[in-house]
């Protein structure tokens, strides 16, 4: 086995880590690498989804605590369980995408792999890695990992290294020509959407849908605990189209004029497709990124989820709907950010 990926998903931590690792796994698979995943069982995990994409998954036992932060002694148990899988193979590279894993875990596992790659965006802990990838934009992007990784670590920093699935590369060829109007809206807050922003946004914008005859694509993941009521809301309006755990998100984005979503990994997908977006941070680690991207003019950032009201969403949507000059400016800022 050439490559193993240690990553988790759950209702609590969302699906973004797994989705970007799947993107990388598929790219490695295309160049002939054999890739397998190591994931811990949890409510909202993506193990079946990973297997459906053709990858083996080695499942670790369910952990009753928070996957955001392993307790002080559990990291070692996690490392040893991971080693139990790795030692059966000659592992060329281990890829780690996990906020609860740091240098202690990596040093314990290192004897069983030839190299370690870390995907991170917090820059809040030390790593023992050969490559570090942080695809996000920060004002201190070039210096934020100083002292946290060995001097020999290869650094892949910024949105030019964004992990974009092939479907987005293809969809870029078919972006809807800009006519200055907002006719179709795209809504997506990640696979789990733990703060239920999707329902908040839908209820807030219903007056606009009816007033301007907007078509709306609303996307949720299987791990979204509110998907049933979201589907019920959508079913009451002919112009709201409900999608659950789909494979054509890029296609939907490419034919949209405006998006409303979270400030996570999907930010780079929207920016890449030049899709103007209204953004809400649904986790603390999204705030700094959202502010930095908003500073470039590539998104409209409203703030964190618990401070953002439906009325704010509606007002900003109305403003953008009426301002084709601003929409064009945002699209150009997206192009400047990721060419």
User: Is the same domain home to 101 and 23?
Assistant: yes
pLDDT in tens, 150-171: 999 999 999 999 999 999 999 9
Looking at the predicted structure, is the pLDDT value of residue 14 above 70? yes
Which residue in the block uniquely carries the two structure tokens 């909202």? 44
User: Is the same domain home to 30 and 79?
Assistant: yes
User: Is the same domain home to 309 and 238?
Assistant: yes
User: Is the same domain home to 98 and 181?
Assistant: no
Question: Which has more confidence, 74 or 330?
Answer: 330
Q: Over the chain, what is the mean pLDDT?
A: 95
259: which strand partners? 186, 277
Predicted local confidence at residue 280, as pLDDT: 98
User: Is the same domain home to 198 and 287?
Assistant: yes
Predicted local confidence at residue 196, as pLDDT: 96
Residues 6 or more apart whose CB falls under 8 angstroms from that of 293 comprise 137, 263, 267, 271, 279, 299, 301, 337
| Residue closest to 257 by CA, chosen among 306, 317, 200, 310 | 317
Predicted local confidence at residue 64, as pLDDT: 80
Q: How many domains does the chain have?
A: 2
Domain that holds residue 233: 167-337
Last residue of a domain, one of 118, 145, 163: 163
Read off the CATH number of the domain in which 68 is found: 3.40.50.11190
Total count of residues recorded for the chain: 339
User: Is the same domain home to 225 and 239?
Assistant: yes
User: Is the same domain home to 174 and 323?
Assistant: yes
Last residue of a domain, one of 163, 180, 205: 163
Q: How confident is the model at residue 70 (pLDDT cuts 50, 70, 90)?
A: confident
User: Is the same domain home to 16 and 73?
Assistant: yes
CB neighbours of residue 319 within 10 Å: 12
In angstroms, the CA 201 to CA 185 distance is: 11
Give yes or no for a contact between 321 and 277, defined as CB atoms under 8 angstroms apart: no
User: Is the same domain home to 189 and 332?
Assistant: yes
Last residue of a domain, one of 163, 190, 225: 163
Looking at the predicted structure, is the pLDDT value of residue 21 above 90? yes
Read off the CATH number of the domain in which 275 is found: 3.40.50.2000
In angstroms, the CA 203 to CA 206 distance is: 6
The average pLDDT across 314-333 equals 97
User: Is the same domain home to 142 and 288?
Assistant: no
pLDDT in tens, 260-302: 999 988 999 999 999 999 999 998 889 999 999 999 999 999 9
Predicted local confidence at residue 274, as pLDDT: 97
Predicted local confidence at residue 324, as pLDDT: 96
Q: How confident is the model at residue 1 (pLDDT cuts 50, 70, 90)?
A: low
User: Is the same domain home to 46 and 97?
Assistant: yes
What global pTM score does this model have?
0.88
Three-state SS for 4-71 is EEEECCECCCECHHHHHHHHHHHHHHHCCCCEEEEEECCCCCCHHHHHHCCCEEEEECCCCCCCCCCC
In angstroms, the CA 85 to CA 4 distance is: 10
The average pLDDT across 201-228 equals 94
User: Is the same domain home to 145 and 273?
Assistant: no
The average pLDDT across 185-189 equals 98
């Amino acid at each position: 086995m050439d490559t193993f990926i240690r990553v988790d998903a759950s209702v609590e931590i969302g699906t973004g880590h797994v989705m970007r690792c799947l993107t990388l796994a598929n790219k490695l698979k295309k160049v002939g690498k054999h890739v397998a995943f190591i994931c811990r069982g949890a409510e909202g995990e993506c193990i079946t989804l990973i297997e459906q994409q053709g990858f083996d998954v080695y499942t670790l036992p369910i952990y009753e605590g928070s996957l955001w932060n392993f307790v002080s002694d559990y990291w070692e148990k996690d490392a040893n369980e991971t080693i139990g899988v790795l030692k059966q193979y000659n592992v060329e590279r281990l890829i780690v995408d996990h906020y609860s894993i740091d240098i202690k875990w990596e040093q314990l596992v290192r004897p069983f792999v030839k190299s370690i790659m870390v995907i991170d965006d917090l820059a809040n802990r030390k790593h023992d890695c050969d490559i570090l990838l942080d695809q996000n934009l920060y004002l201190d992007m070039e210096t934020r990992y100083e002292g946290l990784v060995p001097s020999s670590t290869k650094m892949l920093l910024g949105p030019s290294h964004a992990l974009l699935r092939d479907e987005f590369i293809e969809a870029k060829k078919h972006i809807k020509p800009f006519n200055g109007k907002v006719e179709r809206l795209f809504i997506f807050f990640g696979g789990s959407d733990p703060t239920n922003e999707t329902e908040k946004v839908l209820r807030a914008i219903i007056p606009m849908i009816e007033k301007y005859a907007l078509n709306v694509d609303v996307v949720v993941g299987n791990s979204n605990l509110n998907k049933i009521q979201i589907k019920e809301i959508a079913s009451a309006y002919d112009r709201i189209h409900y999608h659950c755990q789909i494979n054509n998100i890029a296609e939907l984005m490419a034919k949209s004029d405006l998006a409303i979503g979270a400030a996570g990994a999907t930010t780079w997908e929207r920016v890449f497709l030049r899709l103007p977006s209204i953004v809400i941070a649904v986790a603390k680690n999204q705030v700094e990124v959202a502010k930095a991207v908003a500073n470039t003019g590539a998104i409209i950032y409203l703030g964190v989820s618990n401070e953002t009201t439906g009325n704010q969403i509606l007002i900003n949507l109305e403003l953008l709907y009426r301002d084709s000059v601003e929409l064009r400016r945002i699209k150009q800022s997206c192009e400047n950010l990721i060419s």
